[in-house]
Amino acid sequence: MIELNELTDAAQKAFPADALSPGRDESWRLVAEMGWLMVRLPEEDGGLGLDREASAAIHFEMGRVLATTPLIPAQLGLQAVLASEIAARVEWLERLAGGEYAPLHLLPAKLEAAPNGTLSGVVGGVFDADMAMAVVAKLPSGYALVPTDAPGVSIVERAIWDPSRRLFDIVLDGYAPDPALMLTDADGAAALHDALAPEAHLAVAADCLGAANAALELTIEYMKMRRQFDRPIAMFQALKHRAADMKARIAVAEALLWNRVRDDAATLVQCGAAKTLAAEAFAFVTEEAIQLHGGIGLTEEHPIHRFMKRAMLNLQLCGSPDLWNERTGREALG
């Protein structure tokens, strides 16, 4: 059994804090070598068989360095294949664990089926589709692997503000789904979604909080170094109090994250709530971070804006805060 702190140490060694957003392809090779693509793959299927806590610990470290490598959608894609009963399941799992990429899309699909069964429309929120051999997409007939080189499939990069990630649409134009690649039927889609969604929420939440910690550290460091009125600005109580609030928001969101990560009975809505709190904390911290950096925070040269941009994108992944707050409220109302 791999200890959590060993995992964290290894992650920090492989992805040192002073190198933000290291190159994607090199990072991907590193991530595959370290076995992180198969963290949640059971040992009997050739994986590491680690729990949600181990997985969250890795995503936390990936957030800390604003990782460019699409580990979250890769893990979710692998889990979708794992949960399926397709004929080539074992072969697919081996390929995915070995470094081939078939991500789950993280934004909704808008597709229409023609009378002959072919599909047209857009599957949104696919990270790094340029390196994907297939995408795990929710089609009207269920979840399926959609090969990116199949006829009727094209990938379109959508420029995003967040420079640490690359987002694509998968555009289908008369695509005929391959029955051998259907991971679920229409009825099974909801169950697979509900099984994967908590994983997705907890992973994104961990990414948020790793990054929020790093943004706070950068900000504190800057405030200690930057001098005005003959003293470091970190000495002014008005600014210290804002830093303290940033720290408190992170700490509270972290406590909820780890609580839900360790609670196997945590519901989908509870995981969505943990992600919402984490993403809101991350957004708050980065908003404050730019203000506390003053003018330098508005320059592209200084990295702090990159944290803010990742935070804004993370807020919208897996459902917006409005959606999850509403669902949390509805559930608590009983």
Partner 1 sequence: MTDTPDLEALRREVRAFLAAEAPTGWRDASRTQDDFVRTQRDWFTRLVSAGYAIPHWPAAFPGGGRSLAEQKVIYEELAKADCPRLLLSFVSTYHAFATLHECATREQQDRYLPRILEGETWCQGFSEPGAGSDLAAIKTRAERKGDVYVVNGQKVWSTMAQFADKCLLLVRTSSDGPKQAGITYLLMDMKAPGVSVRPIHQIQGDEEFAEIFLDNVEIPVSERVGEEGKGWAVAQATLASERGLTLMELSYRMRGALARVASLIREHGHEDDRGVLRDFGELVTQVDAVCAVADQFLDNRIKGIERIGDASIIKNSYSRALRAYAKLGLRLGGIAEQYVAPITFGDLNTGNWMADFMNSYAWTIAGGSEEVQRNIIAERMLDMPREPKAWVA
Q: What is the closest distance, in whole angstroms, from the C-beta atom of residue 54 to partner 1 in the complex?
A: 18
Of the pair 252, 298, the CB lying nearest partner 1 is at 252
Nearest distance from residue 160's CB to partner 1, in Å?
A: 26
Which of 115, 229 has the CB closer to partner 1? 229
The CB-of-325 to partner 1 minimum distance in angstroms stands at: 4
Q: At its nearest, how many Å lie between partner 1 and the CB of residue 289?
A: 13
Q: Which residue has the tokens 């089926």?
A: 113
Judged on CB neighbours under 10 Å (0-12, 13-18, 19+), 204 is buried
> Which parts of this chain interact with partner 1 (CB under 8 A)?
216, 220, 223-224, 231-232, 234-237, 240-241, 243-245, 247-248, 251-253, 255-256, 258-259, 270, 273-274, 276-277, 322, 324-334
63's tokens: 């957030």
Q: How many CA atoms lie within 13 A of 30 on its CB side?
A: 18
Q: Hey, what are 61's tokens? A: 């470290």
With respect to partner 1, which residue has the nearer C-beta, 92 or 258?
258
Beta partners for 127? 167
Residues 132 and 114: their CA atoms lie apart, in Å, by 26
Say how far apart CA 259 and CA 264 lie, in whole Å. Answer: 10
Q: Which residue number, 158 or 330, has a Cβ lying nearer to partner 1?
A: 330
CA–CA separation, 45 and 55 (whole Å): 17
Q: Could you tell me what percentage of the chain is helix, strand and coil, using 3-state DSSP and rounding each to the nearest 5?
A: 60, 15, 30
Q: Which helix (H) or strand (E) holds 145?
A: strand 142-147
Q: How far is the CB of 223 from partner 1 (least distance, A)?
A: 7
Residue 124, classed as helix, strand or coil, is: strand
Min dist. Cβ of residue 234 to partner 1 (A): 4
